Amino acid sequence: MENTIAISIFESLSSGVRLDVFRLLVKKGMEGMVAGEIATSLNVPPTNLSFHLKALTQNRLLSVEQEGRFQRYRANIPLMLDLIAYLTEECCEGHPEKCVIPSKN
C-alpha cells in the first residue's frame, strides 16, 4: 500500500462520525445500508452524513451502489485488511518477535 493511500484512510477514520459509519457498515457486511438508514441509525443530519460518506467513498473505504432512489453503502473490508498489513509490515527490522512492550510513558 502506498503511503498516501494509508494517510487518506487514517484521515477517513479520524472523525467520530466517519468511524461510526465505517464500523456500522463493517458489521452489516455485504448487506450494507442505504444513506437514510445510516443517518437515522447514527442520528446525523443527512447533509452532514453525505459529506462524510463522500469522503469515505473517495478514499475507497466504502463502495456505493444505486438502488432505485436509494444509495446503498458497503464497507470495503479488503482495503481495511490491506491497511492492517501495511501497518505491521517491516515491524522491528523484520524481526517481529522483538516487538516487546514498552510500558513506560
Partner DNA sequence: ATAACTATTCAACAAATATTGAAATAATGA
Partner DNA sequence: TCATTATTTCAATATTTGTTGAATAGTTAT
Q: Where on the chain is the footprint of DNA (CB under 7 A)?
A: 11, 14-15, 17-18, 34-37, 39, 44-55, 64, 66, 68-71
Sheet holding 62-67, edge to edge: 33-34, 70-75, 62-67
**Which of residues 41, 48, 54, 65 is near its own copies by CB under 8 A?**
65
* 23 touching its own copies, by CB under 8 A: yes
**Which DSSP letter does residue 15 get?**
S
* 15 touching its own copies, by CB under 8 A: yes
Under a CB-based contact definition with an 8 Å cutoff, are residues 45 and 85 in contact?
A: no
User: Least distance in Å: CB of 48 to its own copies?
Assistant: 17
